[in-house]
Structure formats: C-alpha cells, structure tokens
Structure 1
Amino acid sequence: MVQGRGQNGTKPRAVGILERIWTTRTSWTTVGDGEFFCPECGGDRNFRRRTGRRRLAVLGVPLLSRGAAGPVVECAACETHFGTDVLDHPTTTRFSAMLRDAVHTVALAVLAAGGTSSRTVTATAAATVRAAGYDDCTEEQLITLIEALAADTGRFLTDTEADPCGAALAIELHESLEPLAPHLAPAGRESILLQGARIALADGPYSPAEREVLTTVGGALQLCTDDVARLLAAARTPS
C-alpha cells in the first residue's frame, strides 16, 4: 500500500528517509560561455553553456549512470537554467545595434529609390538616422554613401523606373530587417516602416519606386499586405 501525504501536506517520514538515501545527482561540465539576455534577470548577463551526466547516488555516493543532461544555458548571475534557444534572443546591446542599422538601411533604400536631389528629403533622412542612434549622421554622408552604392554595380538599382525594387536591393533590406522582426512588437515594426514612409513623403507623394521599396520593407518586417497599405496611407495624413 502506497503511503500518502500527512494531514499537513508533508511527505511521510519513511518517504523522506528514502529520498535522502536514494537521490539523482547531476554533474555539470562547462563547454562554453558568453553573454546573453537573461529572461529571469531581465538584462544582459554572462552565461555558461553546460552539459551534464545524471547518476543515481546512495547516501551521497554516485553509483549508477542515469544518462545525459542538457545541454543548458546557465545564467552566471541567477544560475537559472534555460534551453539553448534562449541564445537566439539578441542581447540588449546587439538589439540596439540591429535596430539602428535597420533604420539606416531603410533610409538609404528610400533615398536610392527616390533620389537625393531634394534637400527636404535628405534632411529628413539624416534626422531619422540620427534619432535611431547614428548621432553624427549628416546629409552629406548619406549622399556620399548613396553615390558610392550606386557606383557599386549590382548593389543598388541603376534603372529604378524599369525595376523599382530589384533583387539586390530586396536582398539588402531582407538581410537587415528579417533577423530583427521577430524581436520587435508590432508597433515597433510599424514604426520602422513609417519612418521610411515619412522620408519618402518629405518632397511629395510616393513615387512608384519609393512605394515599391516601402512594400519590400513591410514584407521584410513581417507585416501583411493590408497593414502595409494602411500604414503607407496613414503616413500621408497630417497628424
């Protein structure tokens, strides 16, 4: 007959004694380390990547192997164990850099599609990039970079009217935005698209090339077609 718990919810004395005699212990070995975003601490922390071996212990003496444990990621601060997929989440520092680079790439893509002849557009683009974290960004720097990219055959478009969002430009946007999108709330993804839209609208309505680029931006940010259309229309409405 199996003994249940006592009236106060505690384990029977005999069960407690057996657990002290027969236990399973895990011996951990560190196989790597680094920095990650710890969900338990809520910030960037050092981690240890560990694998282990489970053993049945009698009176504290390991005897029989019970198989492998892990691998796990152990926070060096709180010592909580996580699955290795926790490393897929960027650190706060890395996330900030990814966000900054995403806005910079979108600004360049819009300028490449719409041109840099309008000072209103280049000023808006520079202000957007500075707000994202590139504090020293100037209009002249963006124009110089666009000219250099245009001279780099195959990187950006040479005929925007014939093909307003060519394969090279689409790849550039997807490489910058797709890794970031899963870590952004919907409002954050929409914000990046709207920043690009406001650059395009700084000198008037969207050109076909600008609209095509912004549609590609929305797709790379995992926004559905209807949401992209709604946001591009909303950006045209004065606040």
Structure 2
Amino acid sequence: MFSRDGRRRTERVAGVRTKWRTLDSGEFFCPECGGDRPYRRRAGRRRFVLLGVPLLPRGAAEPIVQCAACRGHFGTDALDGPTTNRLASMLRDGVHAVALSVLAVGGTEARTVREAAVQAIRGAGVPDCSEEQLLALVAALRADPRGAAPDTPGALGAGSAPDAPSDAALGVVALELGEVLRPLAPHLAPAGRETLLLQGAAIALADGPYRPAERAVLEAAGQALSLGPDDVARLLATARTPS
C-alpha cells in the first residue's frame, strides 16, 4: 500500500492485540490529569492477530484502570488512593475527631477552648460548626464512650471538666480517634500530619498547660498519624512555645 506521496507505507500485518471488556466504573484521582476523573476498570484477553484476523489466544492481560478523560491506562492500584473530594472529607473528619477527643478529656468550661475547637473545625471546611453542636457531641461522647458508663468511677463523666478519666475511658477515646486518623495518615504529607496534631495541641493549650489526659490523647493521635514518639514530643513542646 502506498501513501499520497507515492512512498510505500508499512502496515503491521501480524501481532498480539488485546480485547478489553469493562468490569465496573466510578471516579478516581487520575495521576495524569491531576484531578478527580471518571474511570473504567477493564479486563482483557490477548490474541495473536494476522491481517486483522484473531487466530491464537495468548492469555489474559493484566487488569487496568482507564481514565475517561485522558484515556490513560494505569494499574488497579490507582484506585487505592482517595479522590480529592474524599480526601477533603477524611481531613474534615480527622480535625473534628481530634477536637472532640481533646474536649472530651480536657473539659469545655473555658470559652477559649470552645472557640479554638470551633475555629479549627470551621477551618477544615465545616463553616456551620457552632459551640452548641460541639457541646452536644462532647456530652454524648462522655455519656457513652463506646461502653464506659458515665457513673463509672474515673470514667468520662457528665460534668464540664473531667479531672481524671480512667485508663479504660482514655483507651476508648484513643481507639475512636485511631479509627478516623489511621486511614487518613498515608495520604497526608508529614507537614500535614504535623499540622493536624498541632491543631489539637492548640485546643488543649487554650485554657492553660496540658492536662495529663489531654497529653495522652494527643500522643495517641500522633501515633495514629504515624508520627514517631520523638516527633510527637517535639511538636507538643513547640505548641507550648509562644510565637
């Protein structure tokens, strides 16, 4: 076959081609586009083709994820990361969980503490957060921190300033906190994980030095955020230093 200028054009008469079929679809963060895009997860079968005719099977092709926008092909691990919208939601939940945990063990009687918590949560993307909402959530957490009865000696009581939550109650709060922060940690840069811990520290320090329970919860938050003990100690000390 010849091209328009008369030169011979080489065609591929034989080779291996893949026939794809779509397994499912959804939205993912496309590494090529750099944003959230629709995708199709596809599986394929390879065949040896001669002159356009499929002849011999050559086995299954590795599943791929195809971006509907740029048409790029990626490994299925591209679906492991959250979309931009999902990551923003996870971060909001993380800030909210840290703030509630600090308030639950440190008390809500100081206006400065309540204001610091509201400011942190609003800054994370919840503009309608109010003190009344936080107080209601803290009261619910204290009343039943996953099984710790409010009248248990040393548990998180219903008063505004629990002096010494029991180890069991602190463990429950730390467990709840870890369930929110651990899935988030791999998707945040070190600076982002440190900032989240520092926000919790700022809430705890809004009414004075750390209480033991506040420090214990912040250390649990740092561990859930994959920060080493030395880094956590450094950050908590930094938060205490006036800027």
The corresponding residue for 2:93 is 101
2:31 pairs with 1:39: yes
Letter in 2 for 1:150: R
Equivalent residue runs for 1:21-32 within 5 Å: 21-32=13-24
The corresponding residue for 2:110 is 118
Q: What is the Cα deviation at residue 21 of structure 1?
A: 2.0
Is 1:47–1:76's contact at 8 Å kept on the other side of the alignment? yes
Decide which of 158, 167, 179 is 2:156's aligned counterpart.
Answer: 158
Q: What is the Cα deviation at residue 20 of structure 1?
A: 1.3
Structure 2 SS opposite 1:54: strand
Decide which of 171, 178, 186 is 1:174's aligned counterpart.
Answer: 178
Letter in 1 for 2:177: L
Letter in 2 for 1:158: L
Task: Could you tell me which runs of 5 or more consecutive residues in structure 2 were left unpaired when the two chains were aligned.
Answer: 1-7, 149-154, 158-163
| Aligned mates of 1:167, 1:214 — CA distance in 2 | 12
Change in Cα spacing, 1:215 to 1:155, as seen in structure 2 (3 Å) is farther
2:145 pairs with 1:141: no
Change in Cα spacing, 1:77 to 1:153, as seen in structure 2 (3 Å) is closer
Q: Identical aligned pairs, as a percentage? A: 62
How many residue pairs align between the two structures?
224
Letter in 2 for 1:42: G
Is 2:105–2:156's contact at 8 Å kept on the other side of the alignment? no
Equivalent residue runs for 1:1-239 within 5 Å: 20-152=12-144, 154=146, 157-158=155-156, 160-163=164-167, 166-239=170-243
Is 2:170–2:213's contact at 8 Å kept on the other side of the alignment? no
Q: What is the Cα deviation at residue 165 of structure 1?
A: 6.1
Is 1:164–1:210's contact at 8 Å kept on the other side of the alignment? no
Is 1:150–1:158's contact at 8 Å kept on the other side of the alignment? yes
Measured against aligned partners, the alpha-carbon deviations of 1:26-51 in whole angstroms (never above 9, x if no partner) come to 00000100000000000000000100
Structure 2 SS opposite 1:218: helix
Q: What is the Cα deviation at residue 151 of structure 1?
A: 1.5
| Aligned mates of 1:193, 1:144 — CA distance in 2 | 23
Measured against aligned partners, the alpha-carbon deviations of 1:54-96 in whole angstroms (never above 9, x if no partner) come to 0000011111000001211100011111111111110010010
In the superposition, the TM-score normalised over structure 2's length comes to 0.88
| Aligned mates of 2:134, 2:207 — CA distance in 1 | 17
| Aligned mates of 1:150, 1:165 — CA distance in 2 | 9
Structure 2 SS opposite 1:135: coil
Letter in 2 for 1:175: E
Q: Which moved more, 1:68-77 or 1:29-38?
A: 68-77
The corresponding residue for 1:5 is none
Q: What is the Cα deviation at residue 206 of structure 1?
A: 0.2
In the superposition, the TM-score normalised over structure 1's length comes to 0.89
| Aligned mates of 2:37, 2:226 — CA distance in 1 | 29
Letter in 2 for 1:51: A
Is 1:165–1:212's contact at 8 Å kept on the other side of the alignment? no
